[in-house]
Amino acid sequence: MGTMAEDQGKPEAEAAPPREPAIRAPWPVLLLSGSFLALYALQSTAVSPEAVAARFAFSPLDLTDGRWGGLITAMFVHGGWPHVILNALGALAFGTPIARLFARDARGGAISFFVFFLVCGVLSSLGYAMLHWRAPYMLVGASGGVSGLMGAASRLIDRRSGLAPFRSRTVVSMAVAWVLVNLAIGVVGLGGVSGGAPIAWEAHLAGYFAGLFLLAPALKLFTKA
């Protein structure tokens, strides 16, 4: 480390560059990802974490009985640490460009981002319910909402400004890859990730395409004056 006299003698052009932040994700994304981890940590301290998950899960049967709250609460309970960690990492990776986009182009950027995530998650569960009407299966986890962030992010990856068209190579290739991955999950299953429960791959696909197709309308809805 140089002395003060030595530092004063250096030309300004040689000054140390400003430090980049250790975590560059916008605060709404950090809050969202952190909430998954914090709530699951709380859930795991319960006498029966599975009972907590069942209490706040979503089931297609709920809709026929007039219970709608699970469409929201199910996103914030998980089936195990691998499940919640994957969702937290997915939110960090794909939520970051979406949160920045809303912060730049939308009124109330943070609120717009959270609303967009919740809408994708709700539509993912409703899509699952349409395919399994009145089924007693229970859904837990934020995977549908995170898939929505992924679908939306596919329209930003190869563009410096604006949204990539649906026919662009990146948008098409990501959509095809996600469909194939989830079809494979439907055949093989990855219960170890979700605490032993079957993975609702149909909800993943519904959430993905919700995010893909709703990003532009959401931006228009929340556009700054």
CA–CA distance, 41 with 48 (Å, rounded to integer): 13
What pLDDT shows up at residue 65? 83
What pLDDT shows up at residue 6? 41
Residue spans of the domains in the chain: they are 24-221
Q: Which residues contact 110 (CB under 8 A, 6 or more apart)?
A: 27, 28, 99, 102, 103
CA distances from 145 to 48, 66, 188, 212 (A): 26, 22, 23, 12
176 — pLDDT class (breaks 50, 70, 90): very high
User: Given a cut of 90, is residue 189 above it in pLDDT?
Assistant: no
| Mean pLDDT over each residue of the chain, to the nearest integer | 87
User: Given a cut of 60, is residue 14 above it in pLDDT?
Assistant: no
Q: What is the pLDDT of residues 72-127, one digit of tens each?
A: 999 999 999 999 999 999 999 999 999 999 999 888 899 999 999 999 999 999 99
CA–CA distance, 174 with 172 (Å, rounded to integer): 6
The runs of H, that is alpha helices, within the chain are: 4-8, 27-44, 49-56, 60-64, 70-73, 81-105, 109-131, 143-153, 169-188, 201-221
Of the candidate ranges 9-13, 90-94, 120-124, 182-186, the one whose mean pLDDT is the lowest:
9-13
Count other C-beta atoms under 10 Å from residue 63's C-beta. Answer: 18
User: Given a cut of 60, is residue 10 above it in pLDDT?
Assistant: no
Residue with the bigger pLDDT between 5 and 108: it is 108
**Quick one: average pLDDT of 18-41?**
83
The domain defined by 24-221 folds into Rhomboid-like fold (1.20.1540)
CA distances from 168 to 66, 100, 102 (A): 41, 22, 22
Q: What is the pLDDT of residues 45-79, one digit of tens each?
A: 998 998 999 999 999 999 988 899 999 999 999 99
pTM: 0.86
195 — pLDDT class (breaks 50, 70, 90): low
What pLDDT shows up at residue 190? 56
Q: What is the pLDDT of residues 35-46, one digit of tens each?
A: 999 999 999 999
What pLDDT shows up at residue 3? 45
